[in-house]
Structure 1
Amino acid sequence: MIKVLHVVTRLNVGGLTTFLMNYYKHIDRSRIKFDFVAIDTGQKHAYHDQFEKFGGKVFYMPSQFVQRGTFFVKLLRNGNYSVVHCHIEVQSGIYLLLAKLTGVPVRISHAHWSRENNGFQNRVLKFLLNRVVTLRAGASNIAIEAVVGKDYSTNSRVIHNAVDLEHFKFDESVRKHYRKSFNFGDNIIIGFVGRLTHQKNILFIIEILNTLVKQRDDIRLLVVGDGEDGSLFKKEIEDRDLAPFIYWLRERSDINELMNAMDILLLPSHYEGLPLVAVEAQAASLHVIASENVTRQVNLSSFISYEPIDIGSEFLWSKAIESIGKDYLRHSTTDVLTKAGFNIKEEAKNLLNLYENLVNGS
């Protein structure tokens, strides 16, 4: 059996954790075992128990850097891992160097963001990464290039942010039940799912909502998630008297059902690698309006469109929302998403084959 150690910063609610969970749930666990190592926050991470339920072990490294390195080397020496798979952008180079020195044969860097930083420290880390990695991977080509650089990005592998298409498939009965439960009525429900951070540009959604409610009274915003900008988000809501128009559910496990109840999903991010939530929404036949900064590699169906996020463009988003409305036909996207490589049942097989080929040297 192949043993893979995934290196992350957190195993809390978010796109990366969902990505790992999707693959581990659907991969053949009789042939491969995933373990996970994250940075200690003083408490058990949200997905700890779920990963252990599927047979994986979860380890926590000390937050102090030198102690973290010592812990990581000891973990590698005792774990008998064939693969170390790192998900922390250019910082992966440090862990993959330790993996190389410890004798781990397969060392994968996996890029999830498209934000490139060419500061001195990042250039050093990128230089290191490209000399200790054995496979450069990522959610998209643009994410890979941002982490390893253009010169190395051609020798790489995209691992799709695939989802369980059946789990997210649109169900009219679920939609009616959830809309009734939340008393949505005939309102147009615009949604946001993700962490409340600068990256996700959550305050821009407030601008869009503020523009819409001045024109009509049948708009509501459903926010699912929390994060470091949560207090700023709350203050903006209060300052603009928008609380009556917002449902803020924070972290939830029923994202698929909530997407059934939504009419439009907003993704105004400043940058993304390949946003898993956009794939999930299209699997639910939910129309996504995405920032022009979001890669076109997530343009998978007729249920997505793009708008700019510069100053004043909230009016363009408002017009797009009004144009789309809530009465469009939500037909199945299973075939088109499977063909594009986003069906987790197929992609989990491909990932297993990739690991086995790398370990066996083929």
Structure 2
Amino acid sequence: MEKTKVLHIVGALNLGGAETMIMNIFRNIDRSRFQFDFYLSGNSGGFYEEEVLQLGGRIFNVGRRKKHPVNYCTELFKLIRKEKYDAVQIHATDAMDGLPAFISWLAGSKKICLFSHNTRGQSMQSQKIMRAMFMPFVTHPQACSDMAAEWMFGKRANEAEIIPLPINCDLCVYDQEFREKERLRLGLTDKKIVGHIGRFQTQKNHDQLIDIFAELMRKDPEYRLILIGVGDLEESIHKKVENLGIEEYVLFMGQVDKACRMLSIFDVFLLPSLYEGFPTVLLEAQANGLESVVSNTITPSIKLTNLVHFVDLDDSASYWADQLIEHTCERHDTEEFNTVIAKDYSAPNVAAKFSSIYLGE
């Protein structure tokens, strides 16, 4: 039987939210029925590239779109015309990412899906212009939340299909044995650990995160901070930690495979993001039974249990620290929470949803 061919258009295949979503779908979709190809515009050698190839995917990387926009569009047009994809799946953070929708339309694509992963990005004026230019060519608008749909599609937001972001619920289950071994390995057996997983970029607001932790240390020096992720701002955050004299209390762990396992060693999770689409890490934290203190800029729909606590970004670092102390506690009935999350957000269920879209069922 001939496979249904899907072209995913995304910046790179690193450990980001969009890429993790794609991989959770790819691992769980029926690969005997689907061929997934990937058109990239970032640096090669991304974290997931080897796994994509092992799963039978193909990768086409033409370099950065911003540096070589004409080549990016030309090669995309030629690829779609040659391969005759059954569906083009664009992963977008702002309306400028809708450019491939126009190229796909020019190349003759009939099914052009665009998934909105974010709720902010470029200026609103630029967003409105790009939205008017490119969104009319999207046949299947999709988003991770109502707020992400509104940001990307504007007046067409009500047409967007809200699709849950998939997580691997099995990996998110609280693991007491892993917690004890890993905390022993890190020399943190008797410490209270604040955890954060996210790329070092402006959106994640690491600058304020460090201010909050510094205040927390003044209130209770038994706390430690673990930061998982990489990014352009990592070096500047390193310097800030050193300037505050708290470097021995902060652990930078870099890029970690299956990072959600690390949730089991945390005592509370901190996410003071400036904006988010629908942060899967908060789904994973809830599935793990871990309490989270997060900014109120994040969509309220992420709160599926009583484990998520919203705080205003304008509140003081002292207040944020108090909230971390208040919500540092023993794990809840993690099996119950995992079951709640798995109902709608398990990777197999979400993969089945995308399968139906690509097949036109």
The alpha-carbon deviation at position 217 of structure 1 amounts to 1.7
CA distance in structure 2 between the partners assigned to 1:301 and 1:202 by the alignment: 25
Relative to 1, partners in 2 of residues 1:304 and 1:162: Cα closer, same or farther, differing over 3 Å? same
Task: Say whether 1:133 aligns with 2:135.
Answer: no
The alpha-carbon deviation at position 254 of structure 1 amounts to 3.6
CA distance in structure 1 between the partners assigned to 2:264 and 2:294 by the alignment: 18
Give the structure 2 partner of residue 47 of structure 1.
48
Give the structure 1 partner of residue 149 of structure 2.
144
The alpha-carbon deviation at position 52 of structure 1 amounts to 1.1
In percent, how many aligned pairs have the same letter?
A: 25
Cα displacement string for residues 132-158 of structure 1 (whole angstroms, at most 9, x for unaligned residues): 110110111110110111x10001101
Contact 1:162/1:279, CA 8 A, preserved across alignment: no
1:96-111 map, 5 Å: 96-111=101-116
**Alignment partner for residue 317 of structure 2, among 310, 314, 319?**
314
Relative to 1, partners in 2 of residues 1:121 and 1:304: Cα closer, same or farther, differing over 3 Å? closer
CA distance in structure 2 between the partners assigned to 1:256 and 1:303 by the alignment: 16
Cα displacement string for residues 32-53 of structure 1 (whole angstroms, at most 9, x for unaligned residues): 1211111143x42221111111
Contact 2:293/2:309, CA 8 A, preserved across alignment: yes
Contact 1:286/1:330, CA 8 A, preserved across alignment: no
Task: Say whether 1:78 aligns with 2:82.
Answer: yes
CA distance in structure 2 between the partners assigned to 1:145 and 1:250 by the alignment: 33
Give the structure 2 partner of residue 114 of structure 1.
119
Give the structure 2 partner of residue 60 of structure 1.
61
Cα displacement string for residues 170-199 of structure 1 (whole angstroms, at most 9, x for unaligned residues): 111111111111111221100110101110
Contact 1:190/1:266, CA 8 A, preserved across alignment: yes
CA distance in structure 1 between the partners assigned to 2:99 and 2:110 by the alignment: 16
Aligned length: 354
2:253 partner letter = L
Root-mean-square deviation (CA), in Å?
A: 1.5
Contact 2:165/2:350, CA 8 A, preserved across alignment: no
The alpha-carbon deviation at position 328 of structure 1 amounts to 4.0
The alpha-carbon deviation at position 126 of structure 1 amounts to 0.2
**Alignment partner for residue 298 of structure 2, among 273, 280, 294?**
294
CA distance in structure 2 between the partners assigned to 1:40 and 1:206 by the alignment: 29
The alpha-carbon deviation at position 115 of structure 1 amounts to 0.8
Give the structure 2 partner of residue 205 of structure 1.
209
Give 3-state SS (helix, strand or coil) of 1:17's partner.
helix
Give the structure 1 partner of residue 223 of structure 2.
219
Contact 2:286/2:338, CA 8 A, preserved across alignment: no
**Alignment partner for residue 256 of structure 2, among 230, 252, 255?**
252
CA distance in structure 2 between the partners assigned to 1:284 and 1:82 by the alignment: 37
The alpha-carbon deviation at position 121 of structure 1 amounts to 3.6
CA distance in structure 2 between the partners assigned to 1:335 and 1:148 by the alignment: 32
Give the structure 1 partner of residue 334 of structure 2.
331
Task: Say whether 1:346 aligns with 2:349.
Answer: yes
CA distance in structure 2 between the partners assigned to 1:328 and 1:121 by the alignment: 45
Contact 1:62/1:71, CA 8 A, preserved across alignment: no
Q: Which region of structure 1 is more displaced relative to structure 2, 27-36 or 219-228?
A: 27-36
Give the structure 2 partner of residue 263 of structure 1.
267
Contact 1:116/1:146, CA 8 A, preserved across alignment: no
The alpha-carbon deviation at position 119 of structure 1 amounts to 4.4
The alpha-carbon deviation at position 123 of structure 1 amounts to 2.1
Give 3-state SS (helix, strand or coil) of 2:164's partner.
coil
Cα displacement string for residues 33-86 of structure 1 (whole angstroms, at most 9, x for unaligned residues): 211111143x42221111111111011024311111111111111222011111
The alpha-carbon deviation at position 117 of structure 1 amounts to 4.6
CA distance in structure 2 between the partners assigned to 1:92 and 1:199 by the alignment: 17
Give 3-state SS (helix, strand or coil) of 2:161's partner.
strand
Give 3-state SS (helix, strand or coil) of 1:175's partner.
helix
Give the structure 1 partner of residue 14 of structure 2.
12
Give the structure 2 partner of residue 276 of structure 1.
280
TM-score by length of 1: 0.94
Relative to 1, partners in 2 of residues 1:225 and 1:40: Cα closer, same or farther, differing over 3 Å? closer
1:140 partner letter = S
The alpha-carbon deviation at position 116 of structure 1 amounts to 6.0
1:38 partner letter = L
Contact 2:10/2:40, CA 8 A, preserved across alignment: yes
CA distance in structure 1 between the partners assigned to 2:33 and 2:175 by the alignment: 35
